[in-house]
């Protein structure tokens, strides 16, 4: 795969600087396109490519070598780009249910939790929500074993350098972890075959965010106040899931998979799945998304369906954003969001984690100006009669 970064310079730079940048570029395998305007060299474009190592220097004849010049590189170190300023808060509430079947994981410093140090300091964090059904046992089991399942190879994280191959390996490892947790539930004698759980995880490494989801928990990113869904609710009402289920021999009855389950993907529930090794309508295969975070990304909300049953993604983002601007406390934001869902008469357990990615100052500065509101006014009877006479005369 070819990775390219484009850096554009709009102003001229001295010939010596151009020679230096060309030498540095050559050392790093950079293809450089140089143009001249009025005999003044202009460094127009730099494309960094892992497969292209060529330097066009026909406009220059230099006797200096790179060793005779400064060794600083103009290439941007990935670590120096935007990295999130992570802080989080969570809240869980039993709601109107008789038992609490939700579980969650909240780790703001994953490297410290796993006991290693990055070569270059970068943010690392891991979050997860689990919504059990048929009892809490499956959700508790997956939570208790999550670190072993998801980070069996912790050395892979230490080699993080924004390499696309590493990100693909992380994606594959998360898929493997979901399927491994599903198989572990099949083997766990203490857990009923009618017990299962949905699962959603969020891994932050440097400026990359990886979200994996199986079920109807949801991850929503706030991008300058706009809600961006990073997961899809796996419910029978979602047409691609309905089609997948029916193609595999399942059916939807009154909005329930095989007339029994309100989600089409979950871990466990082995009484609804085909024998181990077979493809089942009820799947543990997660959807995985990897996104590159930017300065526009303010915070992430992940939560179980007790929140999303009564609030849209945009409603939740707007609600949390107001809270962050008011008090800059993600823990309080999570509590307020749960309280709001209860006020809106949710019928389920509630669990939510609010993960801030940018400092509150940038959130305040990015807020659009308020629209000017006009105060309504009423006309007196005399004024109304005069207006009516004027209109009738015309």
- Which of the residue ranges 150-164, 322-336, 368-382 has the most confident prediction, judged by mean pLDDT? 322-336
What integer is the mean pLDDT of 270-299? Answer: 93
Instruction: Say whether pLDDT at 48 is over 50.
Output: no
Helix, strand and coil in the chain, % to nearest 5: 30, 25, 40
- Average pLDDT (32-49) is 37
Segment 252-278 shows an average pLDDT of 93
Q: What is the pLDDT of residues 101-120, one digit of tens each?
A: 999 999 999 999 999 888 77
pLDDT(156) > 90: no
Q: HSE (CB half, 13 Å, CA atoms) of 296? A: 9
The whole-number average pLDDT for the span 89-110 is: 97
Q: What is the DSSP string of 199-255?
A: EEEEEEETTEEEEEEESS-EEEEEETTEEEE-S----TTSHHHHHHHHHTT--EETT
- 268 touches 277 (CB < 8 A): no
Task: Encode 16-34: b = buried (16+ Cβ within 10 Å), e = exposed.
Answer: eebbbbbbbbbeeebbbeb
Strand 218-223 with 350-356, pairing: unpaired
Mention every residue, 6+ apart, whose C-beta is less than 8 A from residue 43. 9, 13, 18, 21, 32, 34
Average pLDDT, the chain: 81
* pLDDT for res 67: 37
Q: Are 230 and 289 in contact (CB under 8 A)?
A: yes
The more confident residue out of 65 and 83 is 83
Task: Report pLDDT for 387.
Answer: 78
- pLDDT digit string, tens, across residues 347-379: 999 999 999 999 998 886 554 444 445 455 667
- For residues 251-261, give the mean pLDDT: 94
SS3 47: strand
| Mean pLDDT for the stretch of residues 145-155 | 90
Give the strands of the sheet with 87-93, arranged side by side.
87-93, 350-356, 297-303, 218-223, 226-229
- pLDDT interval class at 121 (50, 70, 90): confident
Name the pairing type of β-strands 218-223 and 297-303: antiparallel
CB 156 within 8 A of CB 170: yes
DSSP 307-333: HHTT--HHHHHHHHHHHHHHH--HHHH
- Dump the DSSP string for 71-114: ----SPPGGGS-----EEEEEEE-TTSSS--EEEEEES-HHHHH
Mean pLDDT of 211-233: 97
pLDDT in the model for residue 216: 97
The span from the CA of 321 to the CA of 296, in Å, is: 13
- Looking at residue 394, its pLDDT comes to 62
**Amino acid 162: pLDDT:** 66
pLDDT above 70 covers a percentage of the chain that reads 75
Residue 377, pLDDT score: 62
Nearest CA-CA partner of 213 in 180, 181, 247, 174:
174
pLDDT at res. 370: 46
Model pLDDT, residue 155: 78
> What's the rounded Cα separation, in Å, for the pair 162 and 120?
12
Average pLDDT over residues 377-392: 75
What pLDDT is recorded for position 376? 57
Residue ranges per structural domain of the chain: 6-76, 87-365
Topology given in CATH for the domain delimited by 87-365:
Phosphatase 2c; domain 1 (3.60.40)
Position 24 scores a pLDDT of: 37
Radius of gyration of the chain, Cα coordinates, nearest whole angstrom: 28
pLDDT of amino acid 303: 98
271, pLDDT greater than 50: yes
Of residues 389 and 249, more confidently modeled: 249
Alpha-carbon distance of 51 to 30, in angstroms, equals 10
182-196 pLDDT tens trace: 999 999 999 999 999
Across the range 184-210, mean pLDDT stands at 96
Query: Between these two residues, 160 and 25, which has the higher pLDDT value?
Result: 160
Element (H, E) at 272: none
Local confidence band at 89 (pLDDT 50, 70, 90 cut-offs) = very high
Give the number of C-alpha atoms closer than 13 A to the C-alpha of residue 369, restricted to the C-beta side: 3
Average pLDDT over residues 25-49: 39
Q: Are the CB atoms for 100 and 136 separated by under 8 Å?
A: yes
Query: With 50 as the cut, is the pLDDT of residue 52 above it?
Result: no
| DSSP per-residue string spanning 166-185 | HHHHHHHHHHHHHHHHHHHH
């Amino acid at each position: 795969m070819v990775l390219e970064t484009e850096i554009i310079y709009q102003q001229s730079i001295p010939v010596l600087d151009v020679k230096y940048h060309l030498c540095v570029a050559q050392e790093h395998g950079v293809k450089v396109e140089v143009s001249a305007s009025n005999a003044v060299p202009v460094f127009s474009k730099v494309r960094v490519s892992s497969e292209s190592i060529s330097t066009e220097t026909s406009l220059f004849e230099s006797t200096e070598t790179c060793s005779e010049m400064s060794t600083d590189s103009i290439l941007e170190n990935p670590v120096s780009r935007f990295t999130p300023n992570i802080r989080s808060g969570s809240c869980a509430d039993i709601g109107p249910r008789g038992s609490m079947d939700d579980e969650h994981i909240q780790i703001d410093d994953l490297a410290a939790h796993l006991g290693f140090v990055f070569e270059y300091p970068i943010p690392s964090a891991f979050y997860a929500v689990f919504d059990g059904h048929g009892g809490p046992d499956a959700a508790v089991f997956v939570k208790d074993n999550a670190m072993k399942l998801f980070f069996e190879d912790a050395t892979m994280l230490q080699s993080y350098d924004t390499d696309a191959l590493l990100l693909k390996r992380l994606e594959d490892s998360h898929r493997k972890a979901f399927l491994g947790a599903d198989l572990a539930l099949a083997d766990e004698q203490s857990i009923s075959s009618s017990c299962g759980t949905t699962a959603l995880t969020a891994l932050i490494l440097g400026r990359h965010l990886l979200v994996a989801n199986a079920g109807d928990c949801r991850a929503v990113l706030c991008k300058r106040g706009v809600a961006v869904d990073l997961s899809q609710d796996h419910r029978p009402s979602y047409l691609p899931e309905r089609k997948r289920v029916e193609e595999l021999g399942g059916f939807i009855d009154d909005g329930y998979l095989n007339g029994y389950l309100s989600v089409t993907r979950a871990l466990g529930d082995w009484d609804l799945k085909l024998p181990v090794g077979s493809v089942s309508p009820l799947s543990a295969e997660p959807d995985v998304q990897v996104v590159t975070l930017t300065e526009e990304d303010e915070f992430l909300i992940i939560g179980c369906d007790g929140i999303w049953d009564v609030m849209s993604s945009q409603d939740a983002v707007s609600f949390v954003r107001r809270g962050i601007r008011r008090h800059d406390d993600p823990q309080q934001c999570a509590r307020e969001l749960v309280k709001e869902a209860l006020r809106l008469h949710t019928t389920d357990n509630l669990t939510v984690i609010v993960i801030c990615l940018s400092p509150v100052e940038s959130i305040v500065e990015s807020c659009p100006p308020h629209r000017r509101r006009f105060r309504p006014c009423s006309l007196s009877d005399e004024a109304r009669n005069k207006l009516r006479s004027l209109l009738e005369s015309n």
